[in-house]
């Protein structure tokens, strides 16, 4: 089958994107039932915090190993297995009777979740040419943000209607069904193999890793993703609500609207930036522009001593979300810079940079708040110093994108 000219590639795209949508929603959905978990399991806020972060730790730590495995054996098996593991983990989560089982369920979900992005990138690389890929990876990025959106009001309404256990059980069953459906779409219908060992993979993993780790282009991609992802997921997802409540005196509900504004920005930005990049046949130029914009946005918080006027704050949150949509250009650059048979590993390496920053930023920001609030007694001053963290992270991203090289003439490397 000529994959890149087949109409069936759109069935592949729709199926993989839908799987990503549902799997992404389960990254943050447990945050909706924090109070119920604390009550039902009689656990502390510290335990709940660890439970919330463990999936991201598992996800981040598995990106490079998953990239190696996907390159070596193909993405089909890992995407199908990942959907099933995420579904099984969610079902176990819904039936947990002890906090230990909750942790084991989230670890299992994290392992399944770790398969989705690198597998998605490689599947789209195989089925679509470089220009189509540049547009569609932006749509994929939007789908992740849409998954986060589903895990807010819609899933909260489902929890209110059915209770948290039945709600998570239902999603778990849906994910298991998606895993079975993906087998027929990715393997059975196009007559593909579940596991396919590529011919060139006789190279030792150690040598392959050494070559990628010594690649300036790979490190530039790592830094790009580190700079653009951490501020959005790390701050918007963890500190936006308490920031709004502490410095602007607004309610928790009103503060949560800041997250929604940023999410809307991301939903618009991801496909639009991908489309612009494809039309221009350039990655570096738009990526540099948005890294500069992100750096300016975070620096604005410093200019206003951590508390810009509320109208400007709303605009900043929207632009930060919109700029986050440019992170899909990282994987467009992977597509053009490395052979497809290595894109899983490089995508995993770059994605590690993004989620490493998302894991590091909330804890660093929190430590800065504790340090300066204790020494100065002013929460406003503490937030001011805290904002140096996303500024520095954004600066790392800008350096990375400046070092990035692109070559649209090499649009199908290694094929």
Phi, psi (5° rounding) for residue 203? -65, 135
Q: Are 137 and 328 in contact (CB under 8 A)?
A: yes
pLDDT confidence of residue 375:
66
CA distance 377 to 51: 30
For 95, 157, 319, 326, the CA distances from 154, given in Å and listed in that order, are 22, 5, 24, 26
Decide: helix, strand or coil at residue 152.
coil
What pLDDT score was predicted for residue 71? 85
Reported as a single tens digit per residue, the pLDDT across 358-380 is 888 887 888 888 888 766 667 88
Q: Name the nearest CA neighbour of 227 among 154, 324, 139.
A: 324
Question: What number of CA atoms fall less than 13 Å from residue 137's CA on the CB side?
Answer: 35
With tokens 């592949």, the residue in question is 12
Dist CA 251 CA 241 (whole Å): 9
> Residue 134 — left, alpha, or beta (φ > 0 → left; ψ -120 to 50 → alpha)?
alpha
∠ CA 390-391-396, rounded to 5°: 95
Q: What is the pLDDT of residue 413?
A: 43
Structure confidence by residue, pLDDT tens digits, 3-34: 777 889 999 999 999 999 999 888 878 877 77
| CA 113/CA 158 separation, integer angstroms | 22
Q: Whole-angstrom distance between the N-terminal and C-terminal Cα of the chain? A: 15
The three-state secondary structure class of 215 is: coil
Looking at residue 94, what is its pLDDT?
94
**CB within 8 Å of 253: residues ≥ 6 apart:** none
> Encoding tokens for residue 385?
């110093």
Q: d(Cα 400, Cα 153) in Å, to the nearest integer?
A: 36
DSSP tally for the chain: helices H, then strands E: 20, 0
pLDDT of residue 411: 47
- pTM for this model (two decimals): 0.77
Predicted local confidence at residue 114, as pLDDT: 92
> Is 84 within 8 Å of 179 (Cβ atoms)?
yes
Predicted confidence at residue 415, as pLDDT, reads: 43
Characterise 191 by phi-psi region: left (phi > 0), alpha (psi -120 to 50), beta (else). Answer: left
Q: Name the maximum alpha-carbon separation found in the chain.
A: 67
Length of the chain: 415
Q: Which domains does the chain have, with CATH numbers?
A: 1-199 (1.20.1250.20), 203-408 (1.20.1250.20)
Per-residue pLDDT tens digits of the chain, which is 415 residues long: 667 778 899 999 999 999 999 998 888 788 777 778 878 888 776 677 677 778 878 988 999 899 889 888 889 999 999 999 999 999 999 999 888 999 999 999 999 999 999 999 899 988 988 778 888 888 888 888 888 888 777 887 888 899 899 999 999 999 999 999 999 999 888 888 777 765 555 556 777 788 888 899 999 999 999 999 888 887 876 788 788 888 999 887 787 788 888 888 988 988 888 888 888 888 899 999 999 999 999 999 999 999 999 999 999 999 999 999 888 899 888 888 888 778 888 988 998 998 888 888 887 888 888 888 766 667 888 899 999 999 999 999 999 999 998 765 444 544 4
Burial category of 392 from C-beta neighbours within 10 Å (exposed 0-12, middle 13-18, buried 19 and up): middle
CA–CA distances in Å: residue 300 to residues 8, 173, 242, 326: 47, 45, 19, 20
């Amino acid at each position: 089958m000529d994959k890149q000219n087949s109409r069936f590639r759109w069935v592949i795209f729709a199926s993989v994107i839908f799987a990503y949508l549902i799997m992404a929603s389960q990254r943050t959905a447990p945050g909706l039932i924090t109070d119920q978990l604390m009550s039902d399991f009689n656990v502390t806020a510290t335990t709940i915090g660890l439970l919330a972060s463990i999936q991201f730790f598992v996800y981040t730590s598995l990106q490079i190993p998953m990239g190696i495995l996907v390159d070596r054996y193909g993405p089909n098996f890992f995407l199908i297995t990942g959907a099933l593991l995420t579904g099984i983990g969610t079902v176990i989560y819904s039936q947990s009777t002890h906090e230990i089982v909750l942790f084991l369920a989230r670890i299992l979900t994290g392992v399944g979740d770790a398969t989705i992005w690198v597998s998605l990138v490689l599947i789209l690389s195989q089925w679509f040419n470089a220009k189509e890929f540049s547009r569609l990876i932006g749509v994929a990025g939007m789908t992740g943000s849409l998954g986060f959106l589903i895990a807010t009001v819609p899933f909260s309404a489902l929890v209110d209607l059915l209770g948290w256990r039945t709600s998570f059980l239902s999603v778990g069953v849906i994910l298991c069904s998606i895993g079975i459906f993906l087998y027929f779409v990715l393997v059975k219908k196009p007559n593909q193999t579940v596991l396919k060992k590529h011919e060139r993979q006789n190279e030792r993993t150690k040598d392959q890793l050494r070559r990628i780790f010594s690649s300036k282009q790979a490190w530039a991609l790592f830094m790009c993703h580190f700079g653009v992802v951490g501020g959005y997921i790390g701050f918007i997802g963890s500190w936006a609500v308490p920031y709004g409540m502490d410095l602007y005196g607004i309610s928790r509900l009103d503060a949560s609207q800041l997250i929604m504004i940023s999410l809307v920005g991301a939903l618009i930005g991801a496909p639009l930036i991908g489309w612009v990049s494809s039309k221009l046949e350039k990655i570096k130029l738009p990526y540099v522009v948005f890294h500069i914009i992100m750096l300016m946005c975070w620096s604005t918080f410093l200019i206003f001593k951590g508390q810009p006027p509320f109208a400007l704050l709303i605009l900043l949150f929207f632009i930060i979300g919109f700029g986050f949509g440019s992170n899909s250009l990282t994987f467009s650059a992977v597509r053009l810079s490395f052979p497809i048979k290595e894109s899983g590993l490089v995508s995993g390496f770059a994605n590690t940079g993004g989620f490493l920053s998302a894991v590091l930023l909330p804890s660093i920001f929190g430590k800065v708040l504790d340090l300066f609030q204790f020494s100065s007694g002013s929460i406003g001053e503490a937030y001011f110093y805290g904002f140096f963290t996303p500024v520095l992270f954004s600066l790392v991203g800008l350096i990375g994108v400046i070092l990035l090289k692109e070559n649209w003439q090499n649009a199908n490397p290694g094929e």
